[in-house]
Copies of this chain bind each other. A is one copy, B any other.
């Protein structure tokens, strides 16, 4: 299989795409990103890396960070974690508060906003935000094999400044006894975690720990790995997770910065980036590109 050629084709097709979606506009650091950018990378377990376009450009990983925090929180709490957060798709927008009210302050899954805040709160427990963020960066840097990965403080500050909806979600959970740390402390950690910057190349490599392949860093147990993949498959694209499963057939997690991290179990780590989003808040061209890739390679967990 000629992955390089497949990526070239995808890069060319995406360069021609007339509708590139809409770049997130709630903070200036995202709003200012050029919608014309596109990058994709595929990391094989044997160390080979294929890429196209802006694959080396750093972008804000945003919600993709939730995968790493989930791994940390599960490491901290084990299956007890699921008393605080559910593991079902929400059938609602990523920032909806409805089900929190119907379900007593227990968020539906770790990837919608409320669930991710609760996950950060769980991962924090007993540590200062600074310590947690250090641990998170260590985890990501180990996964990606790259010590240069860092948090963009300006993005974190902007998240903090525009975070009233997340604040509402967090106080709602606090009111239901589902916050262990002071709300502003957890939110501070959460806003920083979303501001991690990575390139497609770094992200594709970081995804390898979820492929179960030899040579990939062994950051979680096999059972946990499968389960994180399951969560990504079921809930990784908010209320378009079904669509992604249908079109792509691989577990993935998107971020509002336009990135998507995809896991091809036993095969490869994949990352794509294009800042324009579709109606559900996932990268428009990113989704299209991964669909093309899955079709060209025939890779699908459903095969």
Contact = CB atoms under 8 A, between A and B. Distances in A.
Interface of A: 86-92, 96-101, 108-109, 164-165, 167-172, 174-175, 183, 212, 222, 225-227, 229-231, 233-235, 239-243, 245-246, 249, 251, 265-266, 300-303
Contact of A97 (B90, B101, B266, B300): B101
A193 B229 CA distance: 34
Nearest to A99: B91
Contact of A246 (B174, B227, B242, B245): B227
Chain copies in complex: 4
Majority secondary structure, A binding face: helix
A302 to B, nearest CB: 4
A225 B234 CA distance: 18
A234 B301 contact: no
A63 to B, nearest CB: 17
A243 B227 CA distance: 10
A226 B109 CA distance: 25
Nearest to A251: B302
A241 B246 contact: no
Contacts of A164: 171-172, 174-175, 183
A171 B175 contact: no
Nearest to A226: B302
A303 B226 contact: yes
A44 B167 CA distance: 48
A110 to B, nearest CB: 11
A40 B98 CA distance: 39
A89 B91 CA distance: 6
B222 A303 contact: yes
A87 B222 CA distance: 29
B230 A249 contact: yes
A241 B230 CA distance: 10
B171 A168 contact: yes
B266 A246 contact: no
Contacts of A249: 226-227, 230
A302 B303 contact: no
Nearest to A301: B301
Nearest to A108: B91
B89 A92 contact: no
27 contacts: A88-B89, A88-B241, A88-B242, A89-B241, A90-B91, A91-B99, A98-B101, A109-B242, A164-B171, A165-B171, A165-B175, A167-B175, A168-B171, A168-B174, A171-B171, A212-B303, A226-B300, A226-B302, A227-B302, A229-B302, A230-B245, A230-B302, A233-B233, A233-B245, A234-B241, A234-B242, A266-B303
